[in-house]
Amino acid sequence: MKPAVFLDRDGTLIDEKEYLADPKLVFLIPGAGGALRRLAEAGFSLVIVTNQSGIGRGYYTEADMHRVNDRVVELFAEEGAVFEKIYFAPEAPEQPSRGRKPSPDFLFDARDECGVDLGRSFMVGDKLLDLQCGWNAGVKQSLLVRTGYGAEWEPKLGADAERAVVVDDVVAAAGWILADAERGQ
């Protein structure tokens, strides 16, 4: 069993663009590629977990989303970071969904399909539902980034602020995770 870092896509790994359907509009958060490469080199599997309600709402197709994901994978690969898996929930919030965050089911799937030790893993995202997804799955820590919608969510965390780690971006999240791994050795 290996640890993983579960990552939201939009606003966490790439610039937030509401209902992104065009791969030409994919831009990595500055430094994200190197940060994820360092996590992978430290032994973490990298897994994207993304809600894509634009599909369920009819704003773009699943094929559009796959083209965007392919571009994300390509850009990160150029930086030496490779994702083990991408899980996506295409449903709109009001539609029934097995995997839509904050559901932990995709993290459980990664545990079963990829041999991930959830208790040694982390969830990184820009919304409370990302943090909740990690907590619901029993990850070691959920981290909120201030990119994307994170700066808007930070003051709304309420009591959840005590159990969340809040950092500026995915680069800082990777640094926090790597420092935690060093402390744990």
Which positions are annotated as active-site residues? 8, 10
Residue type, 135: W
Q: Residue 68 has which token pair?
A: 């965007």
Q: How far is CA 183 from CA 27, 32, 44, 70, 140, in A?
A: 33, 23, 16, 35, 14
CA separation for the pair 12, 125 (Å, rounded): 6
Laid out side by side, the sheet with 122-125 consists of 85-89, 45-51, 4-7, 122-125, 141-145, 165-167
Neighbours of 11 (CB within 10 A): 23
CA separation for the pair 119, 140 (Å, rounded): 5
Residue 41, judged by CB atoms within 10 A of its CB (0-12, 13-18, 19+), counts as: exposed
**End-to-end Cα separation, the chain, in angstroms:** 17
